[in-house]
Amino acid sequence: MKEQLPFFNFSLKKVLALEPNSLKRAKIQIILTALVFTIIKALVIVFVAYKYGQNLQVLRAGIVISIAVVFIKILLSRPASMPVISHIILLIGLLVIWSNLLVFVHHINIVTIQMIFLSTLVSYYLIGGLRAACYTVLVMMPVLYCFLFSKEGIAPPGIVSQELVSSGTDPIILLNFLTFIITHYLYYRAFKQNLQEKEALNMQLQKNIAEVKALAESRSVFLSTMSHELRTPLNGVIGMAHLLKDAAVEEQKDTLNILEFSANNLLSVINDVLDYNKSELDKIELELLPVNLTALMGKIHSGLSHKAAEKGLDLVLYLDDRLKNMVVLTDPTRLTQVIYNLAGNAIKFTEEGTVKISLQAKSIENDKIDIHFSVSDTGIGIAPERQDAIFDPFTQASTDTTRKFGGTGLGLAIVKRLLKLFNSTIHLDSGSEVGATFSFLINFKLCSEEMQTREILQATPVALKGLKLLIVEDNRINVLLLEKLLSKWEVATGVAWNGQEAVDKLLTENFDGILMDIHMPVMDGYNATRAIRLLSDPAKANIPIIAITASVSHQLYAKITTAGMQDYIHKPFQPDQLCEKLNQILKPVHL
Ligand code: ADP
């Protein structure tokens, strides 16, 4: 409490107004009550004892009155001294009890018992805890003393009893009871008020939590919507740049490469923000597919080798021999994302030397295998004091990292969260300018032979030449892009500008598959698919449908399969991804 009281203050109201804590306010009131009642009782003693010539009693009461007046004055001007005053009052009470026994009364009378109770009560209300327990034991000691010594032995030799006559003790007994009642009342009132304050605080907290949650949810919706809006035009930019490159003359190729590189960079930033957003809301779920890690790592290696070669770095892939023919159940997309992030960083932050990706089988038991992954480099390293921080979102090792190397500081935060889904944690071993090694251990389930065959079959490419696909899309740029791309693969196309047109077209023409946008005017992709699945011609009703969407809803797969579509591909997509998806979906039907 900040004290702003004058040296001579006589207003309790002012003191209480400065103290926000209801329990502390009650403590001040309890001490003042005890002091005021002590003065009244001592005045009674002075009056009666003087009448009967009990000078020691008069002296003791006089001292007590003086101390009480001084304490009241201090408390009213410096309430922060309350804890010290509480201790002194309890010690004085202890002295009074002992002096009653040894000097004035020589046995335990009702006033002494009241004082013992009062001291116990006040010590818990004012001080509490172990210290209050100590005072309690000390004030109980006189009772023990009485049990140990007979009545005659209590008073030290030569001291004559000066017990107050009943006309003095009766009002004191009454005043003690009053102190009891008021002290209890004050503390109970403060306790109740305190509980009400806590309840109100709790309700406010719940309200704030709900508001924060709503805010987080709306931020996530905002990010999803924004990225959806960004991804659709980006699809056109990336796709067209890719197509243009085929027809471009040599000097245009460099410009197109830069255009494609920048668009892909922008896409990866959008994807990072989205992924982080999804992982923050626990919306990422792992898919479990049979995966040959050797093949997967080979793909990642060749995907990154161009980047490494550009910087003159050696990109080494070490694979434990035992992994060669093993197929494990895992999410290849997310695992690839983790390795790509780590190895991408390693290449980015290394100027010369080697980047090594290594997979080591640790233990193989029944159908389980522990694999230790590590990505190490000979780059700039990470100072020990920044090694924890770099896993936080939007955090980089130093303030000039973005300027020198680019990036958003989201990659490692995503890696950390993704690895949590794999029940793993990332470890970093690095020092300034001595390279860095990121490593983690994942426990995989090994696949049965039948699943292994599936995995190997899925990896086989199939030509799309000669197929005829229906493009259902309302965005002209995307239609143009798909037409050009598919014609490059010698796939014939038809176009419908909305879901209803697609259903009508399918009734009059034959197609091998449909590429279906989701959000369209007149009839959306979900309703169009449901209508197609109800067609009477079984060949048309069962036509393979692949959704092409910029949506990032975490229930997308569930939604499109419930509507009757086979799979989806995200906008913007790389041509290879579309080719692979078409192979996967159309292959079993047409080959
Ligand atoms: P970004 O790479 O987009 O900046 P990350 O979250 O992937 O974000 O990395 C965070 C930071 O950690 C980087 O900015 C860099 O300072 C540091 N870092 C990550 N990997 C390495 C590495 N292999 N060598 C040195 N520093 C690294």
Domain shared by 443 and 480, yes or no: no
Cα 275 to ligand 1 centre (Å):
17
* 266 occurs within a structural domain: no
Residues 6+ apart with CB under 8 A from 455: 289, 290, 291, 292, 327, 447
For 512-529, the pLDDT digits (tens) are 899 999 888 899 999 999
Percentage of residues in the chain with pLDDT exceeding 90? 41
Q: Which atom of ligand 1 is nearest to the CA of 414?
A: 6
Q: Which atom of ligand 1 is nearest to the CA of 410?
A: 6
Cα 383 to ligand 1 centre (Å):
12
**With 50 as the cut, is the pLDDT of residue 351 above it?**
yes
Give the helix, strand, coil percentages of the chain, each rounded to 5: 60, 15, 25
Q: Which atom of ligand 1 is nearest to the CA of 412?
A: 6
d(CA 451, CA 288): 12
Do 339 and 367 contact (CB within 8 A), yes or no? no
Domain shared by 114 and 51, yes or no: yes
For 488-518, the pLDDT digits (tens) are 888 889 999 999 999 999 999 989 899 999 8
Domain shared by 40 and 69, yes or no: yes
Residues with CB under 6 A from ligand 1: 341, 345-346, 349, 377, 379-382, 390, 396-397, 401, 407-413, 436
Task: Among 459, 489, 511, identify where a domain stops.
Answer: 459
Strand arrangement, sheet containing 567-570:
492-496, 468-472, 513-517, 545-549, 567-570
* Residue 528: how many other CB atoms lie within 10 Å: 29
Query: Among 39-53, 193-207, 292-306, where is mean pLDDT lowest?
Result: 292-306
Query: Tell me, what's the pLDDT at 448?
Result: 66
Q: Please tell me the residue having the least CA distance from ligand 1 atom 16.
A: 397
Cα 426 to ligand 1 centre (Å):
14
**With 90 as the cut, is the pLDDT of residue 234 above it?**
no
* 71 occurs within a structural domain: yes
Helix, strand or coil, per DSSP, at residue 156: coil
Query: Among 16-25, 70-79, 147-156, where is mean pLDDT lowest?
Result: 147-156
Question: Rounded to an integer, what is the distance from CA 62 to the centroid of its chain?
Answer: 63
* 211 occurs within a structural domain: no
Domain shared by 328 and 453, yes or no: yes
Q: Which two tokens stand for residue 473?
A: 């899309």
For 312-327, the pLDDT digits (tens) are 999 999 999 888 878 8
Domain shared by 68 and 123, yes or no: yes
Q: Which secondary structure element, helix H or strand E, spans residue 277, and what is its range?
A: helix 250-280
Question: Rounded to an integer, what is the distance from CA 166 to the centroid of its chain?
Answer: 69
Domain that holds residue 493: 468-590
Looking at the structure of the chain, the number of domains it has is 3
For 252-303, the pLDDT digits (tens) are 877 887 788 778 878 877 877 777 776 766 667 787 888 889 988 988 888 8
Cα 146 to ligand 1 centre (Å):
77
d(CA 442, CA 371): 5
**With 70 as the cut, is the pLDDT of residue 46 above it?**
yes
Nearest to 543 by CA among 490, 470, 464: 470
pTM of the model: 0.54
* 212 occurs within a structural domain: no
d(CA 86, CA 103): 25
Query: Tell me, what's the pLDDT at 459?
Result: 38
Domain shared by 133 and 173, yes or no: yes
Domain shared by 397 and 422, yes or no: yes
d(CA 146, CA 223): 79
* 362 occurs within a structural domain: yes
Query: Tell me, what's the pLDDT at 160?
Result: 76
* 54 occurs within a structural domain: yes
Ligand 1 pocket test: pick from 350, 355, 412, 430 the residue with the most ligand atoms within 8 Å of its Cβ: 412
CATH number at residue 585: 3.40.50.2300
Q: Please tell me the residue having the least CA distance from ligand 1 atom 14.
A: 396
For 326-344, the pLDDT digits (tens) are 889 998 888 988 998 999 9
Domain shared by 99 and 116, yes or no: yes
CATH number at residue 339: 3.30.565.10
Domain shared by 338 and 445, yes or no: yes
Do 311 and 351 contact (CB within 8 A), yes or no? yes
Torsion of CA 53, 55, 56, 61, to 10 degrees: 100
Nearest to 571 by CA among 549, 545, 546: 549
Ligand 1 pocket test: pick from 350, 351, 396 the residue with the most ligand atoms within 8 Å of its Cβ: 396
Q: Please tell me the residue having the least CA distance from ligand 1 atom 3.
A: 407
Cα 233 to ligand 1 centre (Å):
29
**With 60 as the cut, is the pLDDT of residue 453 above it?**
no
- Whether residue 20 is preceded by a cis peptide bond, meaning omega within 30 degrees of 0, is no
d(CA 276, CA 223): 11
Ligand 1 pocket test: pick from 349, 350, 403 the residue with the most ligand atoms within 8 Å of its Cβ: 349
Do 330 and 337 contact (CB within 8 A), yes or no? no
Q: How confident is the model at residue 151 (pLDDT cuts 50, 70, 90)?
A: low
- The one-letter amino acid at 77: S
Three-state SS sequence of 447-510: CCHHHHHHHHHHCCCCCCCCCEEEEECCCHHHHHHHHHHHHHCCCEEEEECCHHHHHHHHHHCC
* 423 occurs within a structural domain: yes
Q: Please tell me the residue having the least CA distance from ligand 1 atom 11.
A: 396
Task: Among 158, 179, 205, identify where a domain stops.
Answer: 205
Domain shared by 433 and 497, yes or no: no
Report phi then psi at 462, rounded to 5: -125, 140
Q: Which atom of ligand 1 is nearest to the CA of 377?
A: 23
Query: Tell me, what's the pLDDT at 230?
Result: 82
Report phi then psi at 364, rounded to 5: -120, 120
Cα 377 to ligand 1 centre (Å):
12
Domain shared by 529 and 448, yes or no: no
Cα 254 to ligand 1 centre (Å):
28
CA distances from 465 to 81, 318, 513, 516, 579 (A): 92, 37, 13, 20, 11
* Residue 299: how many other CB atoms lie within 10 Å: 12
Task: Among 429, 459, 489, identify where a domain stops.
Answer: 459
Query: Tell me, what's the pLDDT at 154?
Result: 64
Domain shared by 326 and 416, yes or no: yes
Q: How confident is the model at residue 461 (pLDDT cuts 50, 70, 90)?
A: very low
Cα 412 to ligand 1 centre (Å):
7
- The secondary structure of 511-555 as a DSSP string is -SEEEEESS-SSS-HHHHHHHHHT-SSHHHHT--EEEEE----TT
* 504 occurs within a structural domain: yes
